[in-house]
Chain A
Amino acid sequence: MRDQHQLRARLRGIGDGVATVLAVLSTVLVILPLVAIFAYLLIKGAASINLDFFIRIPKPVGEEGGGMANAIVGSATLLAIASVLGVPVGIGGGVYLAEYGRGTKLANAIRFTADVLNGVPSIVMGIAAYALIVMPQGHFSALAGGVALGIMMIPTICRTTEEMLLMVPHAVREAALGLGVPNWRSVISITVRTASPGIITGCMLAFARVAGETAPLLFTALGNQFWSTSLNEPIAALPLQIYVYAISPYDDWHRLAWAGALVLIVLIVLAVSLVRFVTSRGVLKGAS
């Protein structure tokens, strides 16, 4: 009887130990690819990055050197179009959810739809933008790519804006209204401004997310080996260029792909760290 008890106790102890080891092991296994990805990006990217990368456009196959200046400018153009569309609409939606629709059925439905829309594959957004803009126009264009990215930004910005606005204390709003400020004025100058650090970081997060998107650009912006700043023509983009170079058979292009990936990841890590820093510090400490 006693032996049995001791045996069971020991088995339970072993089970506990095994579970602990497995949990630690799985954490290590998950961190491993992350470390590997960053290590290879740093090693391979740093080896091939130079000034030319930022100021030259791609050279034809067989010629050494060349850079991705046009892709960097192209990505910036696409992001600018995307934010002109995505930021105001997204913030507006967030303001509605937090300030007007709080607790209503409509707001819940919108919140739910935004979350679901977040999970729709980006390539589907690309098809929609293609049907909306490329088909009627008859040619690929920067505009179509920007719109596809902008549509993707809306649900993300909407949800983060709402979360940030919910953190603004009621007293702040009531103080403004008590001074006789109209409601719309109090929303813009008091509530949104109080939450603005959080809203801006939310926008940056959405920015970082679409900056790396490739799939919706494949048949909207299409890519371009030359300088182009026209919104009506195909335009290069950093992730597109990385894709084209990565699946090409040339070593020189592979090096450029690694360099481009390094630039992209540095931008994204910066954005994510900034978001982390701002949200962990407590966005609204100064306000309340």
Chain B
Amino acid sequence: MPDIRIAQTQSQTPPPPQVQAKVSPEHSAVRRFLLARGNSALSDGTFHALMVLCALSIFGIVALIAIELLRGSRLVWNSFGLQFFWRGFIDPATGLPSYWDPVNGHFSALPFVYGTLVSSFLALLLAVPLAIGVAIFLTEMCPGLLRGPLAFLTELLAAIPSIIYGLWAVFILVPLLRVHVNPLLISAFGWTGLFTNENPTGLGFVSAGVILAIMILPIISSLTREVMTAVPHSQREAVLALGATRWEMIRMGVLRNARIGIVGAIILGLGRALGETMAVTMVIGNSPEIHKSLLSNGSSMAAVIANEFAEATSDLHRSALVEIGLALFIVTILVNAAARLLVWAVTRGAPAHAR
């Protein structure tokens, strides 16, 4: 049912003629004639080839990264295989499970995969409702006067480099969480075992999740805004004409039509969160352990690369880090490709572009 509705809404509103002329795939007849005269075929051909080369370089970059990562991680692939991502070891000295022991040559990416997943999902949990709320406010409720500045502010949030988020998190956010929020979490939810009072520093998964949420909010909300503006006005007007309140109009007319794109936006946010490096490195605590408690120290895939790559002790150690990088590369490519396809499915053919 909803799919049909989307199809209908797109055919109902053809882009205005001016827009159509701008993006028409075919050259006009005049232009084709002028191009076909060919009095400068050689220079034109060279220029064309040069531009194609520049464009193809993007494929080249992806291939180059993939090849270098595959080459660099061969050592670990040969000695551990896929088990690298899930098998732990027993430390002979202490008899405790250990995952990451460069000194004895034991490597397992499990704690980093765990840390990345936990912090990213925590971030999504916090960011998604807020981002959709902001998008609803900006597209449907906001007075026109405020819309520009507010959209600019959320864009600005996206332009702040991650090192500055990290700096702010280390000196402002983490102390704030440690003193005011974490005790509340422990007393309210301590019985679940997810919040325990073992780590007095305030660093850990919760801090990483909160700063990640702040960082991925703008991308989710701006894309959600884009797909929501792509929903045609006739949908809103039809629902309102049936006597719906504004919220019902948003829920039935806008969110339902835009939901595929919103899912795409959320997945794109997830992609950002998975690969985020500096801010997470600074607040997650950097210890290769797996704890149930969200307040304990952990590490993430990007964080361990950032911390150890320049000082890797052996070839195997470096190779293990490259393999973590390769996993990160593949996962983010898949996540981003899926998200782009979903967003395109909704906004393609729609006249409005709100960036």
- The interface of chain A, by Cβ under 8 A from chain B, is 12-13, 15-16, 18-20, 22-27, 29-31, 33-34, 36-37, 40-41, 44, 88-93, 95-97, 99-103, 106-107, 109-110, 112-128, 130-132, 140, 151, 154-155, 158, 166-167, 169-170, 173-174, 177-178, 180, 182-184, 187, 208-209, 211-215, 218-219, 222, 239, 242-243, 246-247, 254, 257-258, 261, 264-265, 268-269, 272, 276, 280
Task: Contact check, B28 vs A215: say whether CB atoms are below 8 A apart.
Answer: no
Task: Contact check, B172 vs A36: say whether CB atoms are below 8 A apart.
Answer: yes
Q: Mark B45-62, 1 if CB is under 8 A from A, else 0.
A: 011101111111111011
Task: Contact check, B40 vs A16: say whether CB atoms are below 8 A apart.
Answer: no
Task: Contact check, B275 vs A99: say whether CB atoms are below 8 A apart.
Answer: no
Task: Contact check, A121 vs B51: say whether CB atoms are below 8 A apart.
Answer: no
Cross-chain contact of B325 among A116, A127, A243 (Cβ < 8 A): A127
Most chain B CB atoms below 10 A, which of A89, A116, A178, A222: A116
Inside 8 A of A212's CB, which chain B residues have their CB? Answer: 160-164
Cross-chain contact of B156 among A109, A126, A151, A272 (Cβ < 8 A): A272
Give the distance in Å from the alpha carbon of A100 to the alpha carbon of B47 in the complex.
Answer: 11
Give the distance in Å from the alpha carbon of A96 to the alpha carbon of B56 in the complex.
Answer: 10
Q: Known contacts A89-B57, A158-B55; is A182 also within 8 Å of B48 by CB?
A: no
Task: Contact check, A261 vs B163: say whether CB atoms are below 8 A apart.
Answer: yes
Cross-chain contact of B164 among A37, A118, A122 (Cβ < 8 A): A37
Give the distance in Å from the alpha carbon of A107 to the alpha carbon of B54 in the complex.
Answer: 12
Task: Contact check, B248 vs A117: say whether CB atoms are below 8 A apart.
Answer: no
- Chain B residues within 8 Å of chain A by Cβ, number: 101
- The interface of chain B, by Cβ under 8 A from chain A, is 21-23, 25-26, 28, 30-31, 34-35, 39-40, 43-44, 46-48, 50-59, 61-62, 64-65, 68-69, 71-72, 129-134, 136-138, 140-141, 148, 150, 152-157, 159-168, 170-172, 214, 217, 221, 245-248, 250, 268, 271-272, 274-278, 282, 302, 305-306, 309-310, 321-322, 325, 328-329, 332-333, 335-337, 339-340
Inside 8 A of A242's CB, which chain B residues have their CB? Answer: 163-164, 167
Inside 8 A of A219's CB, which chain B residues have their CB? Answer: 309-310
Give the distance in Å from the alpha carbon of A106 to the alpha carbon of B170 in the complex.
Answer: 45
Task: Contact check, A20 vs B69: say whether CB atoms are below 8 A apart.
Answer: no
Give the distance in Å from the alpha carbon of A129 to the alpha carbon of B53 in the complex.
Answer: 21
Q: Known contacts A182-B44, A215-B306, A261-B164; is A116 also within 8 Å of B340 by CB?
A: yes
Task: Contact check, A113 vs B133: say whether CB atoms are below 8 A apart.
Answer: no
Task: Contact check, A31 vs B150: say whether CB atoms are below 8 A apart.
Answer: yes
Task: Contact check, A183 vs B47: say whether CB atoms are below 8 A apart.
Answer: yes
Give the distance in Å from the alpha carbon of A254 to the alpha carbon of B167 in the complex.
Answer: 9
Q: 18 A-B residue contacts at CB 8 Å?
A: A16-B247, A19-B250, A22-B133, A26-B130, A27-B150, A40-B172, A88-B54, A100-B51, A113-B58, A115-B340, A119-B336, A121-B332, A123-B328, A127-B325, A158-B58, A182-B44, A246-B171, A261-B164
Q: Known contacts A120-B329, A127-B305; is A92 also within 8 Å of B53 by CB?
A: yes
Give the distance in Å from the alpha carbon of A261 to the alpha carbon of B56 in the complex.
Answer: 36
Most chain B CB atoms below 10 A, which of A40, A121, A215, A222: A121
Cross-chain contact of A34 among B25, B72, B157, B275 (Cβ < 8 A): B157
Please give me the residue from chain B that is nearest to A128 by CB atom. Answer: B65
Task: Contact check, B52 vs A124: say whether CB atoms are below 8 A apart.
Answer: no
Q: Known contacts A177-B35, A218-B306; is A12 also within 8 Å of B161 by CB?
A: no
Give the distance in Å from the alpha carbon of A43 to the alpha carbon of B246 in the complex.
Answer: 42
Q: Known contacts A128-B69, A265-B160; is A110 also within 8 Å of B58 by CB?
A: yes
CB distance from A198 to the nearest CB of B (A): 13
Give the distance in Å from the alpha carbon of A258 to the alpha carbon of B353 in the complex.
Answer: 37
Give the distance in Å from the alpha carbon of A177 to the alpha carbon of B221 in the complex.
Answer: 43
Cross-chain contact of A101 among B40, B55, B155 (Cβ < 8 A): B55
Give the distance in Å from the alpha carbon of A279 to the alpha carbon of B302 in the complex.
Answer: 35
A-B contact count (CB 8 A): 293
Task: Contact check, A167 vs B161: say whether CB atoms are below 8 A apart.
Answer: no
What 3 pairs between A and B have smallest CB-CB spacing? A212-B161, A103-B25, A121-B275
Give the distance in Å from the alpha carbon of A178 to the alpha carbon of B22 in the complex.
Answer: 19
Give the distance in Å from the alpha carbon of A19 to the alpha carbon of B329 in the complex.
Answer: 39
Task: Contact check, B57 vs A187: say whether CB atoms are below 8 A apart.
Answer: no
Inside 8 A of A265's CB, which chain B residues have their CB? Answer: 160-161, 164
Task: Contact check, A121 vs B247: say whether CB atoms are below 8 A apart.
Answer: no
CB distance from B45 to the nearest CB of A (A): 9
Task: Contact check, B247 vs A20: say whether CB atoms are below 8 A apart.
Answer: yes
Task: Contact check, A97 vs B55: say whether CB atoms are below 8 A apart.
Answer: yes
14 further A-B contacts with Cβ under 8 Å, apart from A27-B150, A169-B22, A212-B161, are: A23-B133, A29-B130, A30-B221, A34-B157, A92-B55, A103-B26, A114-B58, A117-B61, A122-B277, A123-B306, A127-B305, A166-B23, A215-B277, A243-B278
Give the distance in Å from the alpha carbon of A91 to the alpha carbon of B55 in the complex.
Answer: 9
Inside 8 A of A211's CB, which chain B residues have their CB? Answer: 161
Q: Known contacts A120-B329, A219-B309; is A208 also within 8 Å of B57 by CB?
A: no
Cross-chain contact of A170 among B21, B43, B133, B272 (Cβ < 8 A): B21
Please give me the residue from chain A that is nearest to B51 by CB atom. Answer: A96
CB distance from B138 to the nearest CB of A (A): 7
Please give me the residue from chain B that is nearest to A205 by CB atom. Answer: B159
